[in-house]
């Protein structure tokens, strides 16, 4: 068998002969066309010969293992192995048969053909006049050769794939690992440099602000000391003058009292000249001493972009307050301006705005620090801010119009212009880039309301206001939609 393997080719060629007994008209040429087994390699004829020799050695090794197994199963005698018939050996080598040659049950002929239609072994009589007449049939030897060639191709492809995997592991992944280490090192250096710069700037700003507060505190203390000394002296003089006047009133005879009127008038004028004490701003610590644009911007960035950004997930719009000019999404987070033809008249509710396109949140704030993020997207006209719950809901007057009364504070965009509105007064805002999101930060302890653009870390507007009642998030939309982001 090894002799045959050495001399056979690992390709199916047109010159392959059909075995004796081939049925006429059998389509054996379909699998006999030359299919280069090692076409994927680039070594030419020499590489093909080498690969063919390797394949032959592999087959011989498999046959040797099978032969040893057969010897062991037959009792281990050398004579038993030699007595094996050539047909049995051929069948074993082909990988199709094992043991004695199988015969066709119907014709008692050797099963030396393969029916491709029914995918089974047949004899020549089955192919000519039997049940497989007209089917696609192939000589068994040709079929075996084709299968072996296909297996060789598959093994070659697997070998090439293995080589690519090894190359990827040994080259690409190593380079990637080296690049990873370099990139990670640069990233760490960048983070440390940025944090160091921010820390240095914060430390300098902290020192400057603390010194400013200290100077302001000393100024106010000096004013208080001066005022205390002045008014203490004035109080002493006033008390002394009053005592004298009381003594004059109670102990001076009438004749002497009449002649002392001028002296009494002078003393009264002197007392009245002291004036009335009054509180002034000079006696208060200036809030500007702790005001820092850098610190305020970093504080807003930390709150609005930090781990607790976007505020409470429970913050939604209260459906009872939504104007009939707007529609509210199912999750109660998106307000959309409605065209006239799609508007409906909802049931009357005292909490609902009936004329202005407004809506309020469902949660109020009266302590702590809170932030909201509102996606304004492509909306061309909107208002975002806060208001008291007592804001008027009915009518088209300014009492129910956000930003036009003393109960609401909003950032507004209209006709491409941005402004801060409160009590009917507008403060124009210089916006470098059109915000896609608006951050609202409310710090109740410091009574600070801040509007922020998170994408560029830009502080849009900030006010310090004494809020006398709990606040609600308030919004208005007259173009497209806005959404509370969680």
pLDDT at position 87 over 50: no
From 156, 178, 208, give the residue that closes a domain.
156
Residue 79 lies in a domain: yes
Q: Is the pLDDT of residue 5 over 70?
A: no
Q: Is the pLDDT of residue 57 over 80?
A: no
Inside any domain, residue 67: yes
Domain housing 80: 2-156
Q: Is residue 123 part of a domain?
A: yes
Interval 366-385 mean pLDDT:
92
Per-residue pLDDT, 147: 92
pLDDT > 90 in the chain, percent: 47
Domain assignment present for residue 186? The answer is no
Mean of pLDDT values over 9-28 = 40
> Measured on CA atoms in the order 464, 467, 472, 474, is the torsion positive or negative?
negative
What does the pLDDT average to over 36-42? 36
Decide if 73 is inside a domain. yes
Higher pLDDT, 22 or 237: 237
For 422, what's the count of Cα atoms within 13 Å in the CB-facing half-sphere? Answer: 18
Q: Specify which of 69-78, 129-138, 150-159, 267-276 reaches the highest per-range mean pLDDT.
A: 150-159
Q: What is the pLDDT of residue 312?
A: 65
- The label of the residue with tokens 């109020």 reads 364
Beta bridge partners of 475: 359, 384
Supply the pLDDT for residue 253.
Answer: 80
Q: How far is CA 72 from CA 80, 85, 91, 425, in A?
A: 10, 17, 19, 105
With a pLDDT cut of 70, the percent of the chain lying above it is 78
C-alpha distances in angstroms, 395 versus 2, 367, 385? 104, 31, 20
Single residue among 123, 156, 189 that ends a domain in this structure: 156
Confidence grade of residue 279 (pLDDT, cut at 50, 70, 90) = confident
The residue from 118, 137, 156 where one domain ends is: 156
Q: Kindly report the CATH number assigned to the domain that includes residue 367.
A: 2.60.120.920
Count of structural domains within the chain: 2
In a domain, residue 479? The reply is yes
Pairing of strands 334-337, 358-365: unpaired
What's the whole-number average pLDDT of the chain? 79
Between residues 1 and 317, which one has the greater pLDDT? 317
- 355 found inside a domain: yes
pLDDT of residue 309: 60
* Whether pLDDT at 472 is above 90: yes
CB atoms within 10 A of CB 214: 11
In a domain, 101, yes or no: yes
């Amino acid at each position: 068998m090894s002799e045959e393997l050495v001399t056979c080719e690992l390709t199916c060629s047109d010159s392959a002969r059909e075995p004796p007994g081939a049925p006429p008209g059998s389509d054996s040429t379909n699998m006999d066309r030359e299919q280069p087994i090692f076409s994927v390699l680039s070594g030419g004829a020499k590489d093909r010969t080498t690969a063919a020799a390797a394949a032959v050695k592999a087959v011989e090794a498999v046959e040797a293992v099978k032969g040893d197994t057969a010897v062991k199963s037959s009792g281990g005698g050398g004579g038993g192995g030699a007595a094996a018939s050539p047909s049995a050996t051929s069948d074993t080598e082909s990988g199709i048969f094992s043991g004695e040659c199988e015969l066709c049950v119907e014709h008692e002929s050797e099963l030396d053909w393969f029916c491709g239609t029914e995918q089974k072994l047949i004899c020549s009589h089955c192919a000519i006049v039997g049940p497989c007449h007209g089917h696609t049939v192939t000589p068994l030897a040709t079929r075996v050769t084709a299968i072996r060639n296909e297996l060789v191709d598959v093994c070659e492809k697997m070998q090439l794939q293995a080589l690519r995997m090894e190359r990827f592991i040994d080259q690409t992944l190593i380079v990637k690992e080296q690049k990873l280490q370099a990139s990670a090192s640069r990233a760490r250096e960048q983070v440390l440099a940025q944090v160091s710069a921010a820390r240095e700037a914060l430390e300098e700003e902290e020192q400057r602000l603390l010194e400013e507060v200290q100077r302001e505190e000393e100024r106010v203390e000096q004013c208080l000391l001066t005022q205390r000394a002045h008014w203490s002296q004035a109080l002493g003089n006033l008390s002394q003058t009053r005592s004298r006047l009381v003594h004059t009133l109670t102990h001076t005879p009438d004749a002497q009292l009449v002649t002392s009127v001028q002296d009494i008038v002078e003393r009264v004028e002197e007392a009245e000249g002291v004036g009335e004490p009054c509180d002034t701003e000079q006696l208060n610590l200036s809030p500007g001493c702790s005001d820092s644009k850098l610190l305020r911007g970093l504080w807003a960035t930390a709150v609005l972009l930090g781990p607790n950004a976007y505020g409470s997930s429970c913050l939604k719009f209260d459906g009872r307050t939504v104007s009939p000019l707007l529609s509210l999404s199912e999750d109660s987070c998106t307000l959309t301006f409605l065209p006239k033809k799609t508007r409906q008249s909802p049931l009357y509710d005292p909490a609902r705005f009936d004329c202005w396109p407004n809506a309020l949140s469902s949660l109020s704030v009266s302590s702590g620090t809170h932030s909201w993020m509102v996606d304004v997207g492509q909306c061309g006209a909107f208002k975002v801010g806060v208001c008291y719950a007592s804001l008027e809901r009915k009518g088209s007057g300014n009492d129910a119009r956000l930003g036009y009364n003393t109960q609401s504070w909003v950032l507004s965009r209209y006709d491409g212009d941005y402004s801060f509105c409160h009590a009917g007064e507008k403060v124009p805002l210089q916006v470098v880039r059109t915000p896609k999101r608006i951050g609202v930060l409310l710090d109740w302890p410091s009574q600070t309301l801040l509007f922020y653009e998170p994408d560029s870390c830009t502080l849009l507007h900030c006010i310090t206001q004494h809020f006398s009642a709990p606040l609600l998030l308030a919004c208005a939309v007259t173009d497209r939609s806005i959404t509370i982001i969680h």
